[in-house]
Structures are given as C-alpha cells and as structure tokens.
C-alpha cells in the first residue's frame, strides 16, 4: 500500500524539476528574442549604411574610393541610430567594418581597403575581394566597385551565463552592394 505522504514528496520534486525546465525555457526564449531584435536592427542599418556609402558618389560628387573620414562618418551615423533605437545600447559593444574593392581595369584583380572601427572587432567569413564576381562592367566600360558594411554587437548572454556556456554573445550583419 502506498502512503499519501510519500507521494507528496515525489510530486514536489517533479514540480521543482518542471519549474526549473520552464524557467530555462523562458530565459532561452527571452535571450533568442533579444538577439533577433538586435539582428533585425543591424540588418536594416547595415543595408542603409552600405547604400549611403554607394550613393555618396552620386549625391556629393565624391571619389569612388572610401576614405578613413567617410568610414568614421558611417560609424558615427550607425552609433547615433543605435543609440536612438536600442534602450540599453553600449558603444563599447559595437564593431563596424567598412570595406571596398576597387578595380584598376575590367576583369582585373581588385584592391581591398578595410576600415575596422569600434571597440568590438567584426570578423567576416569571406573577404570582400573573394566576392569580386559580383561586380559588373558599367556602361562607362569600367569595373564597378564593391562595398560592404559589417556591423557586430556583443549582446548579453542570459542562457550562457546560466549554463556556463561562453558562446553566442555576438550578433552581426553584413551587406554588400555594387557601386556605380
């Protein structure tokens, strides 16, 4: 015969285990939602910034080659935008990588220029000059430049700190565009 008092202890243990699992699931979900929100903001901003970089040649009659000053302006615009859209934004967590590939002649090897900015350094899987097949020949018989903006932001890692996992801290976004 089973005693009711022994069953109450088993129920309490099972309830505690389910409570812990549900809490972990809640923290994991909140962590993923936060990272997805940051990812969406970085996606929109990297796309906007690479378009600004491309269109500067048309709007401001600028040179095709990106300068250090222009790269810093891209970073400053990015900083100001993220400060407005993210409540808990910290500048030291942001990294910006501005890249361009320019071509001396049609079909030639491109010259890569990189401008890493910010306290957090962004890493890319494939260098921009390995994507030169994306470039086209313009109607002016020259090879169009390629531009890429990579943004990365180190987020809080709620689930990692609970489970002692030191991964999944950084969210990044990269946008490539063909120049004029």
Q: How confident is the model over 145-163, as pLDDT tens digits?
A: 889 999 999 888 766 666 6
More confident residue, 13 or 148: 148
Q: What is the pLDDT of residue 60?
A: 64
Flag the least confident range among 9-18, 84-93, 115-124, 171-180.
Answer: 9-18
**What is the strand order of the sheet 146-154 is part of?**
110-117, 94-103, 146-154, 170-178
Q: How confident is the model over 86-126, as pLDDT tens digits?
A: 888 888 889 999 999 888 777 777 788 899 998 888 888 88
98: left (phi over 0), alpha (psi -120 to 50) or beta: beta
Q: Provide the whole-model pTM.
A: 0.80
Angle at 90 between CA 86 and CA 91, to 5 degrees: 110
How far, in Å, CA of 11 to CA of 2, rounded?
14
């Amino acid at each position: 015969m089973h005693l009711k008092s022994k069953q109450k202890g088993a129920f309490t243990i099972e309830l505690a285990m389910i409570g812990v699992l549900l809490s972990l699931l809640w923290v994991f979900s909140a962590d993923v939602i936060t990272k997805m929100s940051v990812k969406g903001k970085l996606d929109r901003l990297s796309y906007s910034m690479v378009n600004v970089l491309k269109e500067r040649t048309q709007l401001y009659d600028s040179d095709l080659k990106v300068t250090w000053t222009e790269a810093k302006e891209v970073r400053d615009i990015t900083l100001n935008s993220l400060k407005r859209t993210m409540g808990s934004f910290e500048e030291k967590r942001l990294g910006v990588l501005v890249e361009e590939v320019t071509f001396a002649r049609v079909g030639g090897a491109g010259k890569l220029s990189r401008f890493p900015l910010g306290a957090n350094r962004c890493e890319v899987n494939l260098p921009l000059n390995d994507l030169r097949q994306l470039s086209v020949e313009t109607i002016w018989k020259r090879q169009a430049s390629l531009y890429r903006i990579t943004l990365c932001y180190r987020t809080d890692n709620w689930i990692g700190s609970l489970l002692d996992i030191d991964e999944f801290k950084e969210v990044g976004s990269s946008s490539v565009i063909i120049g004029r």
